[in-house]
Amino acid sequence: MSSITDHPRTTARTATEHPGSTTPATERDAVQVKVTNLDKTFRRHKESVQVLRNVTVEVADGELLVLLGPSGCGKTTLLRCLVGLEKPDAGSIELGGRTVVDAGAGVFVQPNRRDVGMVFQHYALWPHMKVAANVAYPLKSRGLKDDLRGNRVEEVLKLVQCDHLADRYPPELSGGQQQRVSLARALAPRPALLLLDEPLSNLDALLRIELRAQLRLLHRQLKFTGVYVTHDQEEALALGTRVAVMRAGQFEQIGAPQDVYRRPATEYVADFLGARNRVEVTVTGDGEAIVANQPLRDLVRPGIAGRYSMHFRDEDLTLRESGSTAPDGGRHWLTGATVREVLPGGDHAEHVVILGGHTLFVDIPNADRQLPPDSSVEIGIDPARTLCYDADGALVEGWRHVA
């Protein structure tokens, strides 16, 4: 019996793209998915909403591309275009070198002829069929013989740790078990492309983490090519070979997870990936930075006078009591801030701080002393963990002062 892991796959590419690129396919593994200039507009009565705008992207064989963005950004519509549940108004889609959509030429291959597996948010299991029958259904529809079908069902159920549930019905399973079975059903035919539409969003927090780890392990074992949709930043960063952040039907940035996280190409990406603390900065000709009406020297290099925005993650800011003589620790300190509220967590406390009209969030470990509401404090910023953006919202490189 051949194993599902014997299915040939090329190891996923790990090179980092330039932020904001749409991933041309030069010097890559074989391209499994190619989307070119895709447009989609939904029309109802006299209203129309364009949800995809000239989208172009490629996915290499063995790669898991995560589409990340808020509701309404177009990520699920793009997924539905890939599987064939939506028909684009313009553009083309190739799967494994085969054109399945070409709006200009009138080409549209039906979903059942695309060799695509799909895992839905709401499981989509047939309640009247046992687990084994659910998993076997796509194999039966492809004409696989009974003995091979049984072997494959057993194999994929073991992969997702659900082989002991083969004779149960979906309503008898927990949400996590149902989603594992849904994944097994999608993997069973060894599709050329696996699509996952927010498969963990209905599960509780601990179960999401558990299944996230299992999905990552399965991808490493099977090296399947996949496109994964989520609005959860941690999920995207944990699972993706690359992460594609979407905004209003377009890609804002595509890159390796840590590159997108550490070097968000735009303010939108920075805010969406957690660098939500924002202050406006005016830089004078001699390099003095005016932050919240306070001059800071040796923060910004000379020669980039103008107005900018600086973004900080909650965990990259720190607090100390006003007038403290504690060592600076390489930070620049902003004075005149006030703690408005403290939100305790398990191993940390979120401090809501007001500074010159700005509301900032500072994450302090519980091992450190919490500062109670109404405390007068100073906010420490670490230049190495500060993001700077110009008036157009684009990342500014090389802005920091170098001693």
**How confident is residue 172, by pLDDT bands cut at 50, 70 and 90?**
very high
Report in angstroms the alpha-carbon separations of 243 from 29, 269, 271, 374.
17, 11, 15, 40
**How confident is residue 62, by pLDDT bands cut at 50, 70 and 90?**
very high
Let me know: does 382 contact 330? Beta carbons within 8 Å.
Answer: yes
Cα-to-chain-centroid distance, residue 300: 31
Please tell us whether the domain made up of 277-389 is placed in CATH 2.40.50.100.
yes
Let me know: does 16 contact 242? Beta carbons within 8 Å.
Answer: no
pLDDT for residue 118 is more than 70? yes
Give the span between the Cα atoms of 28 and 26, in whole angstroms.
6
Whether the pTM exceeds 0.95: the reply is no
Closest CA to 159 of 135, 195, 143: 135
Phi, psi torsion values for 94, nearest 5 degrees = -120, 135
What's the pLDDT at 86? 97
Let me know: does 270 contact 264? Beta carbons within 8 Å.
Answer: yes
**Lowest-confidence region among 13-27, 187-201, 276-290, 305-319:** 13-27
What's the pLDDT at 353? 97
Cα-to-chain-centroid distance, residue 45: 34
Give just the sign of the alpha carbon dihedral 24, 30, 36, 40: negative
Closest CA to 311 of 395, 234, 236: 395
Could you read off the pLDDT of 332-369 as tens digits, one per residue?
A: 999 999 999 999 887 889 999 999 889 999 999 876 67
Per the model's pLDDT, the better-predicted residue between 220 and 367 turns out to be 220
Give the span between the Cα atoms of 114 and 108, in whole angstroms.
10
Could you read off the pLDDT of 236-276 as tens digits, one per residue?
A: 999 999 999 999 999 999 999 999 999 999 999 999 999 99
Range(s) of the chain covered by CATH 2.40.50.100: 277-389
What's the pLDDT at 29? 61
Range(s) of the chain covered by CATH 3.40.50.300: 4-115+191-269
**Lowest-confidence region among 101-105, 261-265, 281-285:** 281-285
Provide the edge-to-edge strand list for the sheet that holds 64-68. 116-119, 193-197, 226-230, 64-68, 242-247, 250-255
Closest CA to 193 of 35, 71, 314: 35
Let me know: does 165 contact 14? Beta carbons within 8 Å.
Answer: no
pLDDT for residue 26 is more than 70? no
Residue 119 neighbours by CB distance under 10 Å: 23
**How confident is residue 229, by pLDDT bands cut at 50, 70 and 90?**
very high
Compute the half-sphere exposure of residue 285: CA atoms within 13 Å on the CB side of its CA: 0
Residues linked to residue 49 through DSSP beta bridges, in sequence order? 42
Give the span between the Cα atoms of 281 and 263, in whole angstroms.
19
pLDDT for residue 27 is more than 50? no
CATH among 2.102.10.10, 3.30.70.580, 3.40.50.300, 3.40.190.10 for 4-115+191-269 = 3.40.50.300
Let me know: does 254 contact 20? Beta carbons within 8 Å.
Answer: yes
Q: What is the mean pLDDT of residues 148-154?
A: 92
pLDDT for residue 53 is more than 60? yes
**How confident is residue 23, by pLDDT bands cut at 50, 70 and 90?**
very low
Per the model's pLDDT, the better-predicted residue between 325 and 192 turns out to be 192
Closest CA to 228 of 69, 397, 30, 352: 69
